[in-house]
Amino acid sequence: MATGVQRNLITPEQTGEHQVQQRQLRGAQAVRVRGLTRRFGEREVLKDLDLDIAPGEFVALLGASGCGKSTLLRILANLDREISGTVDVAARRAVAFQAPRLMPWKKVWHNVVLGLPGRQDRTKAIAALEEVGIGHRADVWPKVLSGGEAQRASLARALVREPDLLLLDEPFAALDALTRIKAQSLVAELWQRHRCAVLLVTHDVEEAVLLADRVLVMKDGVLAHEETIAMSRPRNVASAQFGRIRANLLGWLGVHQPH
Amino acid sequence: MTDDIAVINTAFGQVAASNTGAIGTGARRQGILRERIKPVSVSTKGVPRWLRRASGPVLVVLAWHLASVTGLLPKEVLAGPATVFSSAANLIATGELQQAMWVSLMRALVGLAIGGSVGVTLALCAGLFRLGEDLIDATVQMLRTVPNVALIPLLIIWFGIGEAPKIALIALGTAFPLYLNVYAGIRNVDSTLIEAGRTLGLSRAALIWHVILPGALPNALVGLRYSLGIAWLALVFGEQINATAGIGYLMANAREFFQTDVIVVCLVVYALLGLAVDFTVRTLEKVLLSWRPAFSGT
Check if the beta carbon of residue A94 is closer than 8 Å to that of residue B179.
no
Q: What is the pLDDT of residues A19-33, one digit of tens each?
A: 444 444 445 789 999
pLDDT > 70 in chain A, percent = 89
Q: What is the pLDDT of residues A57-98, one digit of tens each?
A: 999 999 988 888 999 999 999 999 999 999 999 999 999 999
**Distance (Å, rounded) from C-alpha A211 to C-alpha A57?**
11
Q: What is the pLDDT of residues B27-60, one digit of tens each?
A: 677 788 888 888 876 655 678 888 888 899 899 9
**Residue B24 pLDDT greater than 70, yes or no:** no
Q: Which residue of A has its CA nearest to B211?
A: A103
B3 belongs to a structural domain:
yes
Contact B291 A99 (CB under 8 A): no
Q: What is the pLDDT of residues A129-165, one digit of tens each?
A: 999 999 999 999 999 999 999 999 999 999 999 999 9
A93 belongs to a structural domain:
yes
**Distance (Å, rounded) from C-alpha A114 to C-alpha B266?**
52
Please give the single-letter amino acid code of residue A42.
E
**Distance (Å, rounded) from C-alpha B80 to C-alpha B77?**
10
Q: Which residues of A touch B (CB under 8 A)?
A: 10-12, 77-79, 94-95, 97, 99, 101, 103-106, 114-115, 141-143, 157, 161
A200 belongs to a structural domain:
yes
Beta bridge partners of A205: none
Tell me, yes or no, whether B174 and B216 share the same domain.
yes
A182 belongs to a structural domain:
yes
**Burial readout B37-61 (b: 16 or more C-beta within 10 A, e: otherwise):** eeeeeeeeeeeeeeeeeeeeeeeee
Q: Which residue has the higher pLDDT, B14 or B259?
A: B259
Q: What is the ipTM of this complex?
A: 0.83
**Distance (Å, rounded) from C-alpha B108 to C-alpha B246?**
11
Give the distance from residue A221's alpha carbon to the nearest chain B alpha carbon, in angstroms: 23
B296 belongs to a structural domain:
no
DSSP-assigned letters across all residues of A195-222: --EEEEEES-HHHHHHH-SEEEEEETTE
As to burial, measured by CB atoms within 10 angstroms (0-12 exposed, 13-18 middle, 19+ buried), residue B95 is exposed
B295 belongs to a structural domain:
no
Tell me, yes or no, whether B151 and B181 share the same domain.
yes
Give the distance from residue A127's alpha carbon to the nearest chain B alpha carbon, in angstroms: 18
Helix and strand counts by DSSP (H, E) for chain B = 14, 0
Tell me, yes or no, whether B133 and B219 share the same domain.
yes
Give Cα A219 to chain centroid, integer Å: 19
SS3 of residue B164 by DSSP: helix
Q: Average per-residue pLDDT in chain B?
A: 85
Contact A114 B192 (CB under 8 A): no
DSSP-assigned letters across all residues of chain A: --TT-------GGGHHHHHHHHHHHTTS-SEEEEEEEEEETTEEEEEEEEEEE-TT-EEEEE--TTSSHHHHHHHHTTS----EEEEEE-SSEEEE-SS----TTS-HHHHHHTT-SSS--HHHHHHHHHHTT-GGGTTS-GGGS-HHHHHHHHHHHHHTT--SEEEEESTTTTS-HHHHHHHHHHHHHHHHHH--EEEEEES-HHHHHHH-SEEEEEETTEEEEEEE--PPSSP-TTSHHHHHHHHHHHHHTT-----
pTM of this structure? 0.77
Q: Identify the CATH number of the domain in which residue B175 sits.
A: 1.10.3720.10
B107 belongs to a structural domain:
yes
Contact A103 B202 (CB under 8 A): no
Tell me, yes or no, whether B10 and B153 share the same domain.
no
Give Cα A206 to chain centroid, integer Å: 16
Select from B55, B84, B57 the least CA-distant residue to B68: B84
Q: Identify the CATH number of the domain in which residue A228 sits.
A: 3.40.50.300
Contact B210 A94 (CB under 8 A): no
Check if the beta carbon of residue B127 is closer than 8 Å to that of residue B182.
yes
B44 belongs to a structural domain:
no
Q: Which residue of B has its CA nearest to A163?
A: B200
Beta bridge partners of A227: A215
Give the distance from residue A126's alpha carbon to the nearest chain B alpha carbon, in angstroms: 18
**Distance (Å, rounded) from C-alpha A183 to C-alpha A8?**
30
Contact B210 A95 (CB under 8 A): no
Q: Which residue of B has its CA nearest to A93?
A: B199
Residue length of chain A: 259
Domain count along chain B: 3
Q: Which domain holds residue B125?
A: 82-288
Interface test with B, best of A74, A76, A114, A119 (most B CBs within 10 A): A114
Check if the beta carbon of residue B119 is closer than 8 Å to that of residue B262.
no
